[in-house]
């Protein structure tokens, strides 16, 4: 019989919490995709590049001045407008949060083709088991 505990000593989550929050917002708002905008400390929408640069400083251990904000519903958020109703402030690039929620498309390049993987999953809801 073992004397040592067989359960994990601690379980910390980061991305899981963020994606959960986003998924909940999506299901409440009825929107199929979340949308990330970059905001400043006053919740005003700013240019996305400030968040991309901010992500860098975050990883260097400096508090970010700009945040990605996951919107609860679609719509347009021009620079300077104030966001409300969402709840996730996320340092880092939106692509890095969840591929399932990103709206990015591949950079064009003549020699790159896509779509050669993934066809088998179309008739199944999931690829895990």
Partner 1 sequence: MKRIIIAPRPNWRQAVQDVGLVYNKLPNGGDYWNEGAYYCFSAREVDKLEAATTTLHKLCLDAAQHVIDNNRFTELGIPPAVIPVIKKAWEAEPPAIYGRFDLAYDGVNPPKLLEYNADTPTALLEASVVQWYWLKEVFPKADQFNSIHDKLVAKWRELDEYLVGAKLHFAHIDDLTLEDTMTVTYLRDTAREAGIERTLPILVKDIGWDESRKSFVDLDNEVIRSIFKLYPWEWLVNEEFGPKLLQTYEEVQWVEPIWKMLLSNKGLLPILWELNPGHPNLLPTYFDGSRSMQSFIKKPKLSREGANVEIIVDGKVATATDGDYGEEGFVYQEYFPLHGFDDHTPVVGSWMIDQEPAGIGIREASGLVTDNVSSFVPHMFE
Q: Radius of gyration (Cα) for the chain, nearest Å?
A: 19
- Grouping H, G, I as helix, E, B as strand and the rest as coil, residue 16 is helix
Q: Is 119 a binder of partner 1 (CB under 8 A)?
A: yes
User: What distance lies between CA 23 and its chain's CA centroid?
Assistant: 10
x/- mask, partner 1, residues 18-57, rule CB under 8 A, reads -xx--xx--x------------------------------
78 vs 107 by CB, closer to partner 1: 107
- The single-letter DSSP state of residue 82 is B
Closest of 74, 93, 94 to residue 83, by C-alpha: 74
Shortest distance, CB of residue 45 to partner 1, whole angstroms?
24
Q: Which is nearer to partner 1, 81 or 121 (CB)?
A: 121
Angle in degrees, CA 74, 126, 18, rounded to 5: 45
Q: Per CB under 8 A, which region of 3-11, 41-49, 65-73, 77-85 contacts partner 1? A: 3-11
Q: Is 61 in the site for partner 1 (CB under 8 A)?
A: no
């Amino acid at each position: 019989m073992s004397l040592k505990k067989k359960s994990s000593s601690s379980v910390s989550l980061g991305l899981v919490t963020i994606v959960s929050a986003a998924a909940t917002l999506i299901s409440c708002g009825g929107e199929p995709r979340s949308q990330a905008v970059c905001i400043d400390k006053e919740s005003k929408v700013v240019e996305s590049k400030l968040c991309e640069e901010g992500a860098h400083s975050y990883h260097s251990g400096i508090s970010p001045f700009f945040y990605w904000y996951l919107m609860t519903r679609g719509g347009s958020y021009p620079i300077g407008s104030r966001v409300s109703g969402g709840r996730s402030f996320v340092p880092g690039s939106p692509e890095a949060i969840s591929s399932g929620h990103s709206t990015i498309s591949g950079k064009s390049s003549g020699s790159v083709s896509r779509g050669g993987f993934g066809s088998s999953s179309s008739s199944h809801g999931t690829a895990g088991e």
